[in-house]
Amino acid sequence: MDDLGLADWPPEPIRTERLVLRAPEARDRAAFVELLASPEVNAYLGGPRPRDELERETPEVPERWPGSFVVDLDGAMIGHVLLRRAAGHRRPAAAGKADLGYLFLPRAWGSGYAAEACAAALGWLTGVLPGEPVVLTTQTANAGSMRLAARLGFTEVERFEAWDAEQWLGMWSPPTPSG
Ligand SMILES: CC(C)(COP(=O)(O)OP(=O)(O)OC[C@H]1O[C@@H](n2cnc3c(N)ncnc32)[C@H](O)[C@@H]1OP(=O)(O)O)[C@@H](O)C(=O)NCCC(=O)NCCS
């Protein structure tokens, strides 16, 4: 994956009804470690990483690149939304397209926060890269992620086998300007 290659980063924090999307800061480090060390979060993402390894390797200010949004609820990080360019995607339909990923701490699941944050990130992308479609790959067994993809308006391109599991490739197209 490559980053989106935007010179103008980070943007002003994006405010939704309940959340703020902003660039990562040093105070988010513990939440990043928690996200990547969580067995629940990584159940369909190849498994958790050892916490001691993450503590050693996570930079003081983690994941600061164009398209990497911390999702902040009341001043604390609850999730990470990633928009990258799927340069080497194994499916031709997705290769080179903008790609959405999302990871939320389990205590923040089930409240619509991921949907609210991802919709805002897609809206932001349409503002900076008008007309840009977005792809998303998720395991079909990842029911919460499949529901979220549908809720955001992604539609199925294809299913394929990879990493010992069935994968779902979905695509989202920005709303066409009226008039
Ligand atoms: C995938 C993931 C982000 C989904 O999180 P989520 O909280 O279920 O997703 P949403 O924000 O769409 O929330 C929807 C749920 O909140 C409920 N909800 C409660 N209050 C709500 C509100 N005010 N508005 C909207 N939904 C609300 C909905 O009913 C829905 O419940 P359901 O899943 O039982 O139908 C989360 O499970 C996760 O981080 N998983 C691990 C990482 C991962 O696998 N990522 C995929 C890699 S691409």
Domain count across the chain:
1
Cis upstream peptide for 10 (omega within 30°): yes
Q: Using CA atoms, how far apart are residues 45 and 27, in angstroms rounded to an integer?
A: 25
Is there an atom of ligand 1 within 6 Å of 172 CB? Answer: no
In terms of Cα–Cα distance, which of 146, 140, 141, 122 is closest to 132? 122
Is there an atom of ligand 1 within 6 Å of 159 CB? Answer: no
Say what percent of the chain tops pLDDT 70. 98
Q: Using CA atoms, how far apart are residues 83 and 79, in angstroms rounded to an integer?
A: 13
In-domain check, residue 20:
yes
Ligand 1 geometric centre to CA of 106 (Å)? 10
The CATH number that applies at residue 119 is: 3.40.630.30
In-domain check, residue 28:
yes
In-domain check, residue 102:
yes
In-domain check, residue 94:
yes
Q: Using CA atoms, how far apart are residues 57 and 131, in angstroms rounded to an integer?
A: 37
By three-state DSSP, how is residue 73 classified?
strand
In-domain check, residue 159:
no
Ligand 1 geometric centre to CA of 8 (Å)? 30
CB 104 within 8 A of CB 21: no
In-domain check, residue 89:
yes
Nearest CA to ligand 1 atom 16: 110
Residues 47-56: pLDDT tens digits? Answer: 999 999 999 9
Is the whole model's pTM more than 0.95, yes or no?
A: yes
In-domain check, residue 166:
no
In-domain check, residue 46:
yes
Q: Which domain holds residue 99?
A: 14-131
Residues 61-120: pLDDT tens digits? Answer: 999 999 999 999 999 999 999 999 999 999 999 999 999 999 999 999 999 999 999 999
